[in-house]
Structure 1
């Protein structure tokens, strides 16, 4: 079996200039937890997930319990102000750019499964939880 036997072809992606607010809307609307970030020529330049955004907007001294965002807000920092400010930031400011893992459509499926397992990747699904 090859990767192409299991991959989706209608990939949802964003560009580096997509705002975090636009990204979160896209994730929620498509029921996914992350997307590739592409340039104007459709080349992969990074990856970003809901967890990346939560870690970025997290006030100092708080704990994130899950990806839906149960957040305990510190009195030292006004979370509402920080949230409003950071949602206008571009995806490129926090996307992962290094050590990206990828496979090609014609490669054996086993290779992608080894990568998922080794790096503890989870699946993203538009039809269920990620």
Structure 2
């Protein structure tokens, strides 16, 4: 089985000129956690995920990922100066994050696969590199995306249709 047999062709993407708030809006509206970043020729130039966002917040919030709602709960429950400072710092970091170019947070050395690659090789790659999905390219241009879930579904469907299970 080949990647082209299981890949999703309608790929949500960010563009290299997008700001992080554009990407976060797509994450929220589309209920996704990552997407390839493409240039004007639809070539993959990066990948942005919720993990990249969390790493940024972790580095800029005293290495602690805090949800805004949790901070606000503490803020309203007890108005200690340290908590106020923490809320203010979190807000500043969030607003700073929103206005950054997506490429400032993105993974730039993106692993890609080709549409005619063997699915077994892609499954091994996803497992070995501990990644959830990988962009599919043809002649350097994005043509799809394949995820661990796509691979698992394909394997299960092949197994079930083989008659091995009654």
Tell me which residue corresponds to 2:93: 82
1:95 is the counterpart of 2:112: no
Tell me which residue corresponds to 1:13: 13
Q: CA RMSD in A?
A: 2.3
Tell me which residue corresponds to 1:110: 120
Instruction: Report the structure, 1 or 2, having the larger strand content.
Output: 2
TM-score by length of 2: 0.64
Tell me which residue corresponds to 1:120: 130
Tell me which residue corresponds to 1:61: 62
Contact (CA 8 Å) 1:101, 1:115: kept in 2 or not? no
Cα deviation for residue 27 of structure 1 reads 1.0
Cα deviation for residue 122 of structure 1 reads 2.1
Contact (CA 8 Å) 2:61, 2:90: kept in 1 or not? no
SS in 2 for 1:46: strand
SS in 2 for 1:47: strand
Listed as ranges, the gaps of 5+ residues in structure 1 are 126-130
Q: Show structure 1 runs of 4+ deviating over 6 A.
A: 71-74
Cα deviation for residue 87 of structure 1 reads 0.4
The structure number with the bigger radius of gyration is 2
Aligned pair count? 120
